[in-house]
Structure formats: C-alpha cells, structure tokens
Amino acid sequence: MAEFTMELNDDQKQVRDWIHGFAADVMRPAAAEWDEREETPWPVIQEAAKVGIYSLDFYAQQFFDPTGLGIPMAMEELFWGDAGIALSIVGTGLAAIGVVANGTEEQIGTWIPQMYGTPDDVKVAAFCSSEPDAGSDVGSMRTRAVYDQAKDEWVLNGTKTWATNGGIANVHIVVAVVDPALGTKGHASFIVPPNTPGLSQGQKFKKHGIRASHTAEVVLEDVRIPGSCLLGGKEKLDERLARAHERARSGGGERLKNAAMATFEASRPAVGAMAVGTARAAYEVALDYAKTRTQFGRPIIDNQGVAFQLADMRTQIDAARLLVWRASWMAVAGRPFESAEGSMSKLFASEVAKKVTAQAVQILGGNGFTREYPVERMHRDSAIYTIFEGTSEIQRLVIARTISGMPIR
C-alpha cells in the first residue's frame, strides 16, 4: 500500500503535463464555441480518442494508480481546460465503471469497446439512474424491469432524467427496480444495446452551465433486452435478492444500506477534483488580470482588496485539493471513511468552486460579466458541482449522520 504523499512522482507528473497540454491546446480554444452551440463536441472527443485520453485503458491506468491520485489529477487538468467539454469526454466513464464493477468478464469484453468506439468512429455511453421523482431519494425510483422467463428477456419501462449522453449514447446502462419490496436493495443494472426498440430520447435540457455536455431524459417503453444484458447475471441477482430478504427479516437491512452509501462515498472525490480544476482555472485568469489591469496608475493587485481575495482563493483551492487527495488515497488504501471524508472532499471543493469563480468575475469587473472572458462561463459551470453526484445538502447530511451516528433527517 502506498503511503500518503502530496508529491507526484515523475510518471504522474508526465501524465499530468500531457493532459494539461491537451486541455490547453485543444479544449480551451474550442470551449466558447461549444458552450454557445450547446452541442456535444464530437471533434474534440475524437481528438481525445486519437491521443489516448478518451479510452478505457487511460481511465483504468489512472484508476489503478496505487497512490489514488491518478483519477483526481486527471480530472483536475481536464476540467481546468473546460468543464463542459471535459464532462463530454469523461461522461462515458461512469457507464463503463458500472459495467466493470458489476458485470461479468464476457459483458466487460463485449460492451466496453462499444461504448468508446474507435478514434475514427467515436461512440459515447450513458448511465441512467436519476428520475423525475427520484434524484437524491433513490428509494423513489419507479423504472421497472420485469423478467420474461419464457423468452429469457427483461422488459424495462420508465423515464430517466439528467442522463449525460442520454439518447445519443451507443450503449445505455439503466438502473431499474426488480423487487419493489426491498427498496433500494431491490435495484439492478441493465445494458441496453444500440438501436434497441422502445428506448428514445425525451427532453434535452438547455442548461445554465456545462452546455457542451449533452443532458437529456431517456424514455423506456416496453424495452426488451436479452437476459444476458443483466449486469452480473440472473444467478448472481437471485442470490443477492435472497440475502437481502433474509437480512430484512432478521433486521439487518440498515447495514446493507450503509454499505451502499459507502460505495457512493468512494466516487465523490473525483467530482471534487473536477471542481478544483474549474476553480483553479478561474483563479489563474483573475490573477493574471489583476497583475496587468491598471487603475489609478497601478495594477489592481496592488490594492489589498483585490490581493487578499486572490490569497483567499488560492488558499481555498489548495485546501480543497488536499481534501480530495486525502479521500482518494483513503479509498485506494482501503481506509474507511469514518468521518465521511469522501463527502467532505466533494462538499468543500464544490462550494469553493462556486465561491472562487464568483470572486474571479468580481475581480474582472464588467469584463468578467461578459463572454469575452472565460470566467463568466466558469462561474456558470461551477454551479453543477453542488448539485450532481449528491447535492451539498446531501453531503452535509451524510457527514452529519456519520460523525453523530444519529438518523438525522
């Protein structure tokens, strides 16, 4: 097990600089255009595929970094480039991780390549979990999956929302209820292959920020998929459901719920790293502007009112990164989040991103309020971090429950 360190090794620095170069040379010049178009930046994704950033191999290498810093380092650099384009590049990863974590070797080998396509014919995938009435409250999920034993098929019905790449994906991973009596423990995940009848795109959302990332509803109407598309297989599902029923009868259901919460906890530092990247980008623009913008015969950074803001911004960004790195190291080292350190990192970094980008707009004054400067876009993009992957309110709830041991509502 690697010891916790705040110093990247030579290999990590090389990867970081490589990603940073792509973010600076390819993503940033395209950011304003795709934000205005509010469309998936296919040419940029294709460039990412050609250099190896848009691929399962790349994310696997970062994920299995023994220090735990590979993923947060990559996320920070990509989202430093542009949040909307970065989310288009990494969005497929969430669906891929769902297959890798829960699927069989055959499912992984069959479906992961179809999620990414090739550099000459890139594809994307979508992970569909949230619903119009089931966001933070996953127990309210209504999408149902019913097994047709005679045909060895699953039939899916329901509506998913807030799905990154929803409707335009080559492969959709859909979470559905298979046993309503078990609540959240009665859920399972399914692969919906390309061009499956009954799956369609619903409303495409016109968003405040991350506009280059496609977000839409996914409608499932009598969607029939082969039994082999149940992630993990029917036998494994039946065994899990049987254990859940037994635990419910013996009063052990709450322990299962806490184990599921721990799984969500482990993914949150990556979102914190995204927020750090956006905050850092806005801070750097504001710092450069303050050093070159003159008023009353001197650079505005000569004024304590501006200089102290920048000092606070840098301090908060570094503190957020340290929380993210600590949680990421703890996850890979198998250290339990006894104080909800995963949620801490996501909560603090998300709030820092909103605050720092707002301060950057203020430092740039009228220029910061225009689309001629990128801080306006960064400020809009930063709002998503306190909402997706669990709102800031949910993070505080998780932290409060963890440190108190009380069922706080």
Helices 253-292, 234-250: inter-axial angle, 10-degree rounding: 110
Which residue out of 131, 265, 341, 389 is catalytically annotated?
389
User: Residue 364 corresponds to which tokens in the numbers above?
Assistant: 């740039």
Active site residue 389: yes
CA contacts within 13 A on the Cβ side of 353 = 32
Q: Are 272 and 75 in contact (CB under 8 A)?
A: no
Question: For residues 166 and 364, what is the distance between their CA atoms, to the nearest angstrom?
Answer: 36
Question: For residues 324 and 74, what is the distance between their CA atoms, to the nearest angstrom?
Answer: 13
Task: Give the β-pairing of 144-148 and 187-192.
Answer: unpaired
Q: What is the dihedral of CA 382, 384, 389, 395, to 10 degrees?
A: 70
Beta bridge partners of 38: none
Closest CA to 161 of 198, 123, 203: 203
Tokens 């482990």 found at: 266
Tell me the residue type at 345.
S
Question: Which is it for the CA torsion 325, 326, 330, 336, positive or negative?
Answer: negative
Question: For residues 222 and 81, what is the distance between their CA atoms, to the nearest angstrom?
Answer: 41
Rg (CA), the chain: 22
Beta bridge partners of 200: 219
Residue 367: count other Cβ atoms within 10 Å of its Cβ: 14
User: Residue 231 corresponds to which tokens in the numbers above?
Assistant: 């992630």
Q: Are 388 and 162 in contact (CB under 8 A)?
A: yes
End-to-end CA distance of the chain: 37
Give the CA distances from residue 243 to residues 6, 175, 238, 261, 280, in Å, rounded to whole numbers and listed in that order.
42, 20, 9, 18, 46
Residues classed as catalytic: 389
